[in-house]
């Protein structure tokens, strides 16, 4: 029996649709920022499940919320509401600009809800053809056909034509280019405060302020995609809070459930009320299990101690990474905010970020890339300082081997 249930990495190629190329090891358990594979090899986790595991692995707060709710009520569908979802909605509204929340299961779905709402807002304006959406090159908004088209990386969408229309892309951080395409026909502008998948590229504050002004002038909604930057990732509860710019719609997912799949679109009454019963929906969105975990994770993170801890860890990471770079001279820049960090490789190492990560994995460190030239770290927001030290010691061994 034991033998029959045994699975390993080679089964991936045998049984899984080949849209991923996972690491050669199979992870089986984690605790905090340490994870172990089938061979009991230990890894320090600087990847955080792609900016998801905000409290690391198996945090008691999340485990308790999940097991307590698991004994009570798992799912009822949206023909009934439930206590955990109402609590979570209240938390989000009390601590952000928003008045209303729509729950779903992922970042792509949150953006899908936002983009559809923007089209509805355009329709309700009474102006004909107010349906154009402006997005940015190199952006990432998810993998549904609408969101992947909104993303600014044609390699992810071009094979799936015909694509939804009415979307235009201009260069990120180029306000003049944005000005040229934001018109009376624009119903929405969607932007990431920090482009995550696109290489950990922060938006300039003046750029975001300019987009806000253009949206106000043309009557378009400003959507902040905070799927990656939200829920404490940048050291603020949401990244917009540090920009002086308030969006009309914000999308959040990844860290929101700390590892349990959940997403949300939050907005003001003005726009929320343009969606009517039946306009949009979901089976799982607002599920009690997901909401209970997200509520506990949100409450834990939304404290000065945790958020200041993220800023403290950022400063520590940057100092240590710069010191490492003085020795090995691999990176041109370390950028990002909070615990969303990107190490940009020098031109002579172009395309080799993944090679660095492969060496890091051999040394017992899990990290991410963001495009071909950026090594990305998105660890737990409460990663212990000694795990940062140990992870960076392993990273140093990887860099030593890389430059050889």
Q: Which residues bind ligand PLP (CB under 6 A)?
A: 106-108, 111, 140-142, 192, 196-197, 225, 227-228, 253-254
Tell me the closest approach of the beta carbon of residue 142 to ligand PLP, in angstroms: 4
Tell me the closest approach of the beta carbon of residue 107 to ligand PLP, in angstroms: 2
* Torsion, CA 386, CA 390, CA 391, CA 393, rounded to 10: 140
Strand partners, 251: 225, 265
Tell me the closest approach of the beta carbon of residue 267 to ligand PLP, in angstroms: 17
Identity of the residue, 111 or 157, whose beta carbon is nearer to ligand PLP in the bound complex:
111
**DSSP assignments along 22-81, one per residue:** --SS-EEEEEBTEEEETT--EEEESSHHHHT-TT-BS-HHHHHHHHHHHTT-----TTS-
Identity of the residue, 32 or 48, whose beta carbon is nearer to ligand PLP in the bound complex:
48
Identity of the residue, 49 or 364, whose beta carbon is nearer to ligand PLP in the bound complex:
49
Identity of the residue, 196 or 364, whose beta carbon is nearer to ligand PLP in the bound complex:
196
Helix ranges (H only) for 158-240 are: 175-181, 205-218
Q: Output the residue with the shortest Cβ distance to ligand PLP.
A: 107
Tell me the closest approach of the beta carbon of residue 140 to ligand PLP, in angstroms: 5
Closest by CA position to 309, among listed 41, 29, 47, 55: 55
Length, in residues, of the chain? 404
Identity of the residue, 225 or 363, whose beta carbon is nearer to ligand PLP in the bound complex:
225
Place of tokens 């600009």: 97
Identity of the residue, 224 or 275, whose beta carbon is nearer to ligand PLP in the bound complex:
224
Q: Long-range pairs for 371-375 at CB < 8 Å and ≥24 separation?
A: 371/197, 371/198, 371/199, 373/199, 373/344, 373/345, 373/349, 374/199, 374/200, 374/342, 374/343, 374/344, 374/345, 375/331, 375/342, 375/343, 375/345
Identity of the residue, 107 or 199, whose beta carbon is nearer to ligand PLP in the bound complex:
107
Closest by CA position to 285, among listed 318, 313, 259, 253: 253
Q: Is-cis flag, bond preceding 302, omega within 30?
A: no
Tell me the closest approach of the beta carbon of residue 347 to ligand PLP, in angstroms: 26
Closest by CA position to 377, among listed 348, 325, 336: 336
Rounded Cα–Cα distance for residues 371 and 138 (Å)? 10
Tell me the closest approach of the beta carbon of residue 196 to ligand PLP, in angstroms: 4
Tell me the closest approach of the beta carbon of residue 297 to ligand PLP, in angstroms: 16
Identity of the residue, 105 or 373, whose beta carbon is nearer to ligand PLP in the bound complex:
105
Query: Is the Cα torsion angle 295, 316, 29, 11 positive or negative in sign?
Result: positive
Cβ-contact 149, 167 below 8 angstroms: yes
Three-state SS at 258: strand
Tell me the closest approach of the beta carbon of residue 241 to ligand PLP, in angstroms: 17
| Token code pair at residue 360 | 């890091």
Tell me the closest approach of the beta carbon of residue 136 to ligand PLP, in angstroms: 11
Identity of the residue, 238 or 349, whose beta carbon is nearer to ligand PLP in the bound complex:
238
């Amino acid at each position: 029996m034991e033998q029959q249930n045994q699975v390993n990495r080679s089964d991936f190629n045998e049984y899984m649709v080949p849209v991923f190329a996972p690491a050669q090891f199979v992870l089986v358990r984690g605790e905090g920022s340490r994870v172990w594979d089938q061979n009991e090899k230990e890894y320090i986790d600087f990847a955080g499940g792609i900016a998801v595991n905000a409290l690391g692995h198996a945090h008691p707060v999340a485990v308790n919320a999940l097991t307590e709710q698991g004994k009570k009520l798992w799912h009822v569908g949206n023909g009934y509401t439930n206590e955990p979802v109402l609590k979570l909605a209240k938390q989000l509204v009390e601590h952000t600009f928003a008045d209303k929340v729509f729950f779903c299961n992922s970042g792509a779905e949150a953006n899908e809800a936002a983009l559809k709402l923007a089209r509805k807002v355009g329709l309700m304006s009474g102006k004909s053809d107010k349906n154009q959406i402006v997005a940015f090159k190199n952006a990432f908004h998810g993998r549904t056909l609408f969101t992947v088209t909104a993303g600014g990386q044609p390699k992810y969408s071009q094979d799936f034509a015909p694509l939804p229309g009415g979307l235009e892309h201009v260069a990120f951080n180029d306000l003049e280019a944005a000005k040229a395409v934001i018109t009376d026909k624009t119903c929405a502008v969607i932007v990431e405060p920090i482009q995550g998948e696109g290489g950990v590229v922060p938006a300039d504050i003046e750029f975001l302020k300019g987009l806000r002004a253009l949206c106000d002038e043309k009557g378009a909604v400003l959507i902040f995609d905070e799927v990656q930057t939200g829920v404490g990732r940048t050291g603020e509860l949401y990244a917009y809070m540090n920009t002086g710019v308030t969006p009309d719609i914000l999308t959040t997912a990844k860290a929101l459930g700390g590892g349990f799949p959940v997403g949300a679109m939050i907005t003001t009454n003005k726009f929320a009320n343009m969606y009517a019963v039946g306009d949009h929906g979901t089976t799982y969105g607002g599920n009690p299990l997901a909401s209970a975990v997200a509520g506990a994770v949100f409450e834990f993170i939304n404290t000065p101690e945790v958020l200041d801890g993220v800023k403290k860890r950022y400063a520590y990471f940057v100092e240590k990474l710069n010191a490492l770079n003085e020795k090995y001279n691999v990176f041109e820049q370390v950028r990002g905010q909070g615990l969303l960090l990107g190490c940009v490789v020098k031109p002579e190492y172009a395309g080799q970020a993944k090679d660095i990560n492969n060496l890091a994995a051999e040394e017992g460190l899990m990290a991410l890339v963001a495009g071909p030239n950026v090594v990305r770290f998105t660890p737990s927001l409460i990663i212990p300082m000694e795990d940062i030290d140990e992870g960076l010691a392993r990273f140093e061994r990887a860099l030593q081997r890389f430059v050889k």
